[in-house]
Amino acid sequence: MSDQIKIIEMGPRDGLQNEKTPVSVEARIAFVEALVAAGLNTVEVGAFVSPKAIPQMASSEQVLRGVSHVKDAEFHVLVPNEKGYDAARAAGAQVVSVFAAASEGFSRANINCSVAESIERFKPVLARAKADGVKVRGYISCVLGCPFDGEIKPKAVADLAVTLWDLGCYEISLGDTIGVGTPLKAKEMLRAVGSELPVGNLAMHFHDTYGQALANLYAGMEEGVRVIDAAAGGLGGCPYAPGATGNVATEDVVYMLEGMGVKTGIDMDRLLATTNEVAGLLGRPPVSRVASALNAKRKRLAKS
Protein backbone atom coordinates (compact mmCIF):
# COMPACT_ATOMS: atom_id res chain seq x y z
CA MET A 1 0.00 0.00 0.00
CA SER A 2 3.02 2.29 0.30
CA ASP A 3 3.46 2.24 -3.47
CA GLN A 4 3.10 5.48 -5.36
CA ILE A 5 -0.49 6.20 -6.37
CA LYS A 6 -1.17 8.35 -9.42
CA ILE A 7 -4.20 10.64 -9.28
CA ILE A 8 -5.65 11.86 -12.57
CA GLU A 9 -7.74 14.99 -12.08
CA MET A 10 -11.12 14.92 -13.81
CA GLY A 11 -12.65 18.17 -12.55
CA PRO A 12 -12.23 20.39 -15.62
CA ARG A 13 -13.81 17.79 -17.91
CA ASP A 14 -15.90 15.04 -16.31
CA GLY A 15 -16.65 17.35 -13.40
CA LEU A 16 -17.73 20.50 -15.19
CA GLN A 17 -19.49 18.80 -18.11
CA ASN A 18 -22.41 17.83 -15.87
CA GLU A 19 -22.74 21.17 -14.09
CA LYS A 20 -25.69 23.37 -15.02
CA THR A 21 -23.75 26.59 -14.42
CA PRO A 22 -21.42 27.34 -17.36
CA VAL A 23 -17.81 28.21 -16.55
CA SER A 24 -15.89 30.58 -18.80
CA VAL A 25 -12.82 29.56 -20.77
CA GLU A 26 -10.70 31.90 -18.64
CA ALA A 27 -11.98 30.35 -15.42
CA ARG A 28 -11.42 26.83 -16.76
CA ILE A 29 -7.84 27.70 -17.66
CA ALA A 30 -7.28 29.17 -14.19
CA PHE A 31 -8.82 26.01 -12.69
CA VAL A 32 -6.36 23.79 -14.53
CA GLU A 33 -3.40 26.03 -13.63
CA ALA A 34 -4.38 25.94 -9.95
CA LEU A 35 -4.76 22.16 -9.96
CA VAL A 36 -1.26 21.73 -11.41
CA ALA A 37 0.12 24.22 -8.87
CA ALA A 38 -1.42 22.05 -6.14
CA GLY A 39 0.55 19.05 -7.42
CA LEU A 40 -1.93 17.40 -9.78
CA ASN A 41 0.22 17.10 -12.87
CA THR A 42 -2.13 14.92 -14.94
CA VAL A 43 -5.40 16.71 -15.74
CA GLU A 44 -8.18 16.06 -18.22
CA VAL A 45 -8.95 19.58 -19.42
CA GLY A 46 -11.81 19.25 -21.92
CA ALA A 47 -13.80 17.29 -24.46
CA PHE A 48 -13.94 17.78 -28.22
CA VAL A 49 -17.62 16.99 -28.52
CA SER A 50 -20.60 18.79 -30.02
CA PRO A 51 -21.29 22.02 -28.09
CA LYS A 52 -24.98 21.38 -28.72
CA ALA A 53 -24.75 18.08 -26.86
CA ILE A 54 -22.45 19.27 -24.05
CA PRO A 55 -22.32 23.09 -24.03
CA GLN A 56 -20.17 23.07 -20.89
CA MET A 57 -17.27 21.72 -22.97
CA ALA A 58 -17.53 24.33 -25.74
CA SER A 59 -14.21 25.99 -26.62
CA SER A 60 -12.13 23.13 -25.21
CA GLU A 61 -9.54 23.97 -27.86
CA GLN A 62 -9.09 27.38 -26.23
CA VAL A 63 -8.63 25.76 -22.82
CA LEU A 64 -6.03 23.31 -24.14
CA ARG A 65 -4.12 26.06 -25.89
CA GLY A 66 -4.49 28.29 -22.84
CA VAL A 67 -2.69 25.83 -20.57
CA SER A 68 0.01 24.89 -23.07
CA HIS A 69 2.50 27.12 -21.23
CA VAL A 70 2.24 25.01 -18.05
CA LYS A 71 5.37 22.91 -17.63
CA ASP A 72 5.76 19.42 -16.18
CA ALA A 73 2.11 18.50 -16.67
CA GLU A 74 0.22 16.12 -18.92
CA PHE A 75 -3.14 17.24 -20.29
CA HIS A 76 -5.77 14.85 -21.57
CA VAL A 77 -8.84 15.55 -23.71
CA LEU A 78 -11.81 13.39 -24.61
CA VAL A 79 -12.56 12.70 -28.28
CA PRO A 80 -15.60 10.74 -29.54
CA ASN A 81 -14.63 10.37 -33.19
CA GLU A 82 -12.27 11.48 -35.95
CA LYS A 83 -13.75 14.97 -36.11
CA GLY A 84 -13.02 15.42 -32.43
CA TYR A 85 -9.55 13.98 -32.90
CA ASP A 86 -8.81 16.45 -35.71
CA ALA A 87 -9.86 19.38 -33.52
CA ALA A 88 -7.89 18.08 -30.55
CA ARG A 89 -4.72 17.61 -32.57
CA ALA A 90 -5.09 21.07 -34.11
CA ALA A 91 -5.13 22.44 -30.55
CA GLY A 92 -1.97 20.51 -29.66
CA ALA A 93 -3.33 17.43 -27.88
CA GLN A 94 -0.72 14.80 -27.00
CA VAL A 95 -2.99 12.49 -25.01
CA VAL A 96 -6.61 11.73 -25.95
CA SER A 97 -9.28 9.53 -24.40
CA VAL A 98 -11.98 7.44 -26.06
CA PHE A 99 -14.96 5.93 -24.31
CA ALA A 100 -17.28 2.95 -24.48
CA ALA A 101 -19.89 1.51 -22.13
CA ALA A 102 -20.06 -1.95 -20.63
CA SER A 103 -23.83 -1.87 -21.12
CA GLU A 104 -25.88 -1.60 -24.29
CA GLY A 105 -28.56 0.48 -22.58
CA PHE A 106 -26.16 3.17 -21.44
CA SER A 107 -24.35 3.23 -24.78
CA ARG A 108 -27.59 3.87 -26.64
CA ALA A 109 -28.77 6.52 -24.17
CA ASN A 110 -25.42 8.29 -23.98
CA ILE A 111 -24.15 8.23 -27.58
CA ASN A 112 -27.09 6.75 -29.50
CA CYS A 113 -25.36 3.63 -30.76
CA SER A 114 -24.52 0.10 -29.69
CA VAL A 115 -21.28 -0.80 -27.92
CA ALA A 116 -19.95 -2.41 -31.10
CA GLU A 117 -20.86 0.67 -33.15
CA SER A 118 -19.09 2.94 -30.65
CA ILE A 119 -15.92 0.92 -31.06
CA GLU A 120 -16.13 1.21 -34.83
CA ARG A 121 -16.42 4.99 -34.48
CA PHE A 122 -13.15 5.35 -32.65
CA LYS A 123 -11.12 2.63 -34.39
CA PRO A 124 -9.85 5.24 -36.91
CA VAL A 125 -8.95 7.53 -33.99
CA LEU A 126 -6.72 4.87 -32.48
CA ALA A 127 -5.13 4.07 -35.82
CA ARG A 128 -4.34 7.73 -36.49
CA ALA A 129 -3.16 8.35 -32.94
CA LYS A 130 -0.70 5.48 -33.26
CA ALA A 131 0.64 6.94 -36.50
CA ASP A 132 0.86 10.40 -34.90
CA GLY A 133 2.58 9.19 -31.73
CA VAL A 134 -0.39 10.28 -29.59
CA LYS A 135 -1.25 8.29 -26.45
CA VAL A 136 -4.83 7.05 -26.13
CA ARG A 137 -6.58 6.26 -22.85
CA GLY A 138 -9.74 4.14 -22.89
CA TYR A 139 -12.74 4.67 -20.62
CA ILE A 140 -15.34 2.03 -19.85
CA SER A 141 -18.56 3.32 -18.31
CA CYS A 142 -20.99 1.44 -16.05
CA VAL A 143 -18.55 -1.28 -14.97
CA LEU A 144 -20.43 -1.93 -11.70
CA GLY A 145 -23.99 -1.18 -12.75
CA CYS A 146 -26.16 0.57 -15.32
CA PRO A 147 -29.29 2.70 -14.85
CA PHE A 148 -30.91 0.88 -17.78
CA ASP A 149 -29.51 -2.66 -17.76
CA GLY A 150 -28.91 -3.13 -14.03
CA GLU A 151 -26.05 -5.34 -12.89
CA ILE A 152 -23.08 -5.72 -15.26
CA LYS A 153 -21.18 -8.99 -15.47
CA PRO A 154 -17.42 -8.68 -14.83
CA LYS A 155 -16.72 -10.73 -17.97
CA ALA A 156 -18.47 -8.11 -20.12
CA VAL A 157 -16.17 -5.46 -18.66
CA ALA A 158 -13.09 -7.63 -19.14
CA ASP A 159 -13.97 -8.42 -22.76
CA LEU A 160 -14.45 -4.75 -23.59
CA ALA A 161 -11.22 -3.83 -21.79
CA VAL A 162 -9.33 -6.38 -23.91
CA THR A 163 -10.85 -4.88 -27.06
CA LEU A 164 -9.68 -1.38 -26.11
CA TRP A 165 -6.25 -2.67 -25.13
CA ASP A 166 -5.83 -4.58 -28.39
CA LEU A 167 -6.81 -1.46 -30.34
CA GLY A 168 -3.94 0.42 -28.71
CA CYS A 169 -5.13 2.09 -25.49
CA TYR A 170 -2.21 2.37 -23.06
CA GLU A 171 -4.48 2.48 -20.01
CA ILE A 172 -8.06 1.39 -19.30
CA SER A 173 -10.06 3.50 -16.85
CA LEU A 174 -12.88 1.48 -15.30
CA GLY A 175 -15.82 3.70 -14.41
CA ASP A 176 -18.57 3.14 -11.85
CA THR A 177 -20.52 5.87 -13.60
CA ILE A 178 -23.55 5.85 -11.33
CA GLY A 179 -21.69 5.00 -8.12
CA VAL A 180 -23.59 1.83 -7.20
CA GLY A 181 -20.60 -0.46 -6.63
CA THR A 182 -19.48 -1.95 -3.32
CA PRO A 183 -15.99 -3.22 -2.41
CA LEU A 184 -16.43 -6.95 -3.06
CA LYS A 185 -18.09 -6.28 -6.42
CA ALA A 186 -15.32 -3.84 -7.28
CA LYS A 187 -12.73 -6.52 -6.46
CA GLU A 188 -14.56 -9.13 -8.51
CA MET A 189 -14.67 -6.81 -11.52
CA LEU A 190 -11.02 -5.77 -11.17
CA ARG A 191 -9.91 -9.38 -10.83
CA ALA A 192 -11.80 -10.27 -14.01
CA VAL A 193 -10.12 -7.46 -15.94
CA GLY A 194 -6.76 -8.03 -14.25
CA SER A 195 -6.77 -11.67 -15.33
CA GLU A 196 -6.77 -10.47 -18.93
CA LEU A 197 -4.66 -7.30 -18.79
CA PRO A 198 -1.74 -5.95 -16.72
CA VAL A 199 -3.08 -4.46 -13.49
CA GLY A 200 -0.50 -1.69 -13.84
CA ASN A 201 -2.38 -0.44 -16.89
CA LEU A 202 -5.77 -0.17 -15.17
CA ALA A 203 -7.31 2.86 -13.47
CA MET A 204 -10.31 3.27 -11.18
CA HIS A 205 -12.92 5.94 -11.94
CA PHE A 206 -15.47 5.61 -9.15
CA HIS A 207 -18.37 7.95 -8.46
CA ASP A 208 -19.67 8.38 -4.92
CA THR A 209 -23.47 8.28 -5.20
CA TYR A 210 -23.90 5.76 -2.37
CA GLY A 211 -20.83 6.85 -0.41
CA GLN A 212 -18.84 3.77 -1.44
CA ALA A 213 -16.15 5.29 -3.65
CA LEU A 214 -13.31 5.42 -1.10
CA ALA A 215 -14.05 1.88 0.10
CA ASN A 216 -14.11 0.68 -3.50
CA LEU A 217 -10.83 2.46 -4.25
CA TYR A 218 -9.21 0.83 -1.22
CA ALA A 219 -10.44 -2.55 -2.41
CA GLY A 220 -8.95 -1.85 -5.82
CA MET A 221 -5.65 -0.81 -4.29
CA GLU A 222 -5.58 -4.17 -2.50
CA GLU A 223 -5.86 -5.74 -5.95
CA GLY A 224 -2.83 -3.76 -7.12
CA VAL A 225 -4.42 -0.90 -9.08
CA ARG A 226 -2.35 2.25 -8.67
CA VAL A 227 -4.15 4.88 -10.79
CA ILE A 228 -7.19 6.79 -9.50
CA ASP A 229 -9.41 9.25 -11.35
CA ALA A 230 -10.87 11.95 -9.08
CA ALA A 231 -12.41 15.42 -9.31
CA ALA A 232 -11.77 18.40 -7.06
CA GLY A 233 -14.77 19.04 -4.84
CA GLY A 234 -16.52 15.87 -6.02
CA LEU A 235 -17.66 17.60 -9.21
CA GLY A 236 -19.75 15.73 -11.75
CA GLY A 237 -22.77 13.50 -12.05
CA CYS A 238 -24.64 11.47 -14.63
CA PRO A 239 -27.60 12.88 -16.58
CA TYR A 240 -29.03 9.37 -17.06
CA ALA A 241 -28.99 8.38 -13.39
CA PRO A 242 -31.25 10.51 -11.17
CA GLY A 243 -29.50 11.27 -7.90
CA ALA A 244 -26.08 10.18 -9.16
CA THR A 245 -23.37 12.34 -7.66
CA GLY A 246 -19.99 13.26 -9.03
CA ASN A 247 -16.58 11.66 -9.09
CA VAL A 248 -14.91 10.76 -5.85
CA ALA A 249 -13.48 14.03 -4.51
CA THR A 250 -9.77 14.55 -5.00
CA GLU A 251 -9.40 15.98 -1.48
CA ASP A 252 -11.03 12.89 0.02
CA VAL A 253 -8.70 10.59 -1.92
CA VAL A 254 -5.62 12.62 -0.91
CA TYR A 255 -6.68 12.62 2.76
CA MET A 256 -7.14 8.85 2.73
CA LEU A 257 -3.86 8.15 0.96
CA GLU A 258 -1.78 10.51 3.07
CA GLY A 259 -3.36 9.05 6.21
CA MET A 260 -2.21 5.62 5.01
CA GLY A 261 1.35 6.84 4.55
CA VAL A 262 1.07 7.03 0.76
CA LYS A 263 2.73 10.23 -0.40
CA THR A 264 0.76 11.99 -3.11
CA GLY A 265 2.84 15.14 -3.57
CA ILE A 266 -0.37 17.16 -3.46
CA ASP A 267 -0.63 20.35 -1.39
CA MET A 268 -3.95 20.08 0.44
CA ASP A 269 -4.12 23.81 1.22
CA ARG A 270 -3.76 24.71 -2.46
CA LEU A 271 -6.18 22.00 -3.52
CA LEU A 272 -8.76 23.22 -1.01
CA ALA A 273 -8.39 26.80 -2.23
CA THR A 274 -8.88 25.59 -5.81
CA THR A 275 -11.95 23.59 -4.84
CA ASN A 276 -13.46 26.56 -3.00
CA GLU A 277 -12.82 28.82 -5.98
CA VAL A 278 -14.59 26.58 -8.50
CA ALA A 279 -17.42 25.89 -6.04
CA GLY A 280 -17.91 29.65 -5.75
CA LEU A 281 -18.18 29.91 -9.53
CA LEU A 282 -20.85 27.20 -9.49
CA GLY A 283 -22.72 28.85 -6.64
CA ARG A 284 -22.70 25.95 -4.19
CA PRO A 285 -20.43 24.41 -1.57
CA PRO A 286 -18.12 21.49 -2.44
CA VAL A 287 -19.56 17.99 -2.12
CA SER A 288 -16.25 16.77 -0.72
CA ARG A 289 -16.33 15.66 2.92
CA VAL A 290 -12.75 16.80 3.48
CA ALA A 291 -13.36 20.22 1.95
CA SER A 292 -16.46 20.66 4.12
CA ALA A 293 -14.59 19.64 7.26
CA LEU A 294 -11.54 21.81 6.58
CA ASN A 295 -13.66 24.81 5.61
CA ALA A 296 -15.66 24.48 8.85
CA LYS A 297 -12.47 24.13 10.87
CA ARG A 298 -10.95 27.24 9.32
CA LYS A 299 -14.12 29.22 9.88
CA ARG A 300 -14.11 28.18 13.54
CA LEU A 301 -10.45 29.11 13.96
CA ALA A 302 -11.02 32.47 12.29
CA LYS A 303 -13.72 33.30 14.85
CA SER A 304 -11.63 32.30 17.85
Catalytic sites, residue numbers: 238
198 SS3 class: coil
Question: Greatest CA span in the chain, whole angstroms?
Answer: 61
What whole-number distance in Å separates Cα of residue 115 and Cα of residue 103?
7
**Percent helix, strand and coil across the chain, each rounded to 5?**
50, 15, 35
What whole-number distance in Å separates Cα of residue 284 and Cα of residue 275?
11
Rg for the chain (alpha carbons), in Å? 18
What whole-number distance in Å separates Cα of residue 145 and Cα of residue 245?
14
The DSSP code for 136 is: E
Phi and psi (nearest 5°) for 298? Answer: -65, -35
